[in-house]
Amino acid sequence: MTTAEHLETIDRLRTRDFPDVRGRSEVGVSGPGYHLAELGGSRWYGDEDAAGRVAAEDQASAEYAALILRLTERWGEPDVFWLAGLRARSIGEELPQPWQEVCGATDHVHLWQIEGRWIAVYVGQWGADHSPQLTAMVTVVDPP
């Protein structure tokens, strides 16, 4: 996907209603008060060599940087929200979704609050044998 397509997806999710129950959507997962969009495809590395892994990581980083730049032009400087504290809290307490899921996938998000909704963009990693995945979140659930 291109940066323009990523922006289009985020804009579409910003205006979409939230479902009453969690389920798959055409771009990811949605639930009560949130949408998570898989902007860049995660894939299993399998037996792929180190050069293939580096290329996938470089691609995710480049797409992330381009998207952050465009969103910053649009909405101003984001907050960079570090999730180590949330991850530590999640061991002893249940965090609200989508924050529970997000803090299990990344160390930080770039975060904007626009018209009553939080928009976050991050690169998630679902395990050492999967490529990084560019993801966007739209939610009305405040960061815990």
Tell me the per-residue pLDDT of 1-36, one tens digit each, with 9 for 90 and over.
799 999 999 999 999 999 999 999 999 999 999 999
Instruction: Tally the domains of the chain.
Output: 1
Residue 60 inside a domain? The answer is yes
Residue 132 inside a domain? The answer is yes
The pTM for the full model equals 0.88
Element (H, E) at 71: helix 50-75
Residue 63 inside a domain? The answer is yes
Residue 27 inside a domain? The answer is no
Structure tokens of 89?
Answer: 């809290």
Output 77 or 41, whichever has higher pLDDT. Answer: 77
Report the distance separating Cα 75 and Cα 77, nearest Å. 7
Residue 19 inside a domain? The answer is no
Structural domain boundaries, residue 75 = 3-13+33-139
Q: What are phi and psi of 99, to 5 degrees?
A: -60, -35
Is residue 120 within 8 A of residue 12, CB to CB? The reply is no
Residue 21 inside a domain? The answer is no
77: pLDDT strictly greater than 90: yes
Residue 23 inside a domain? The answer is no
pLDDT reported for residue 91: 86
Residue 25 inside a domain? The answer is no
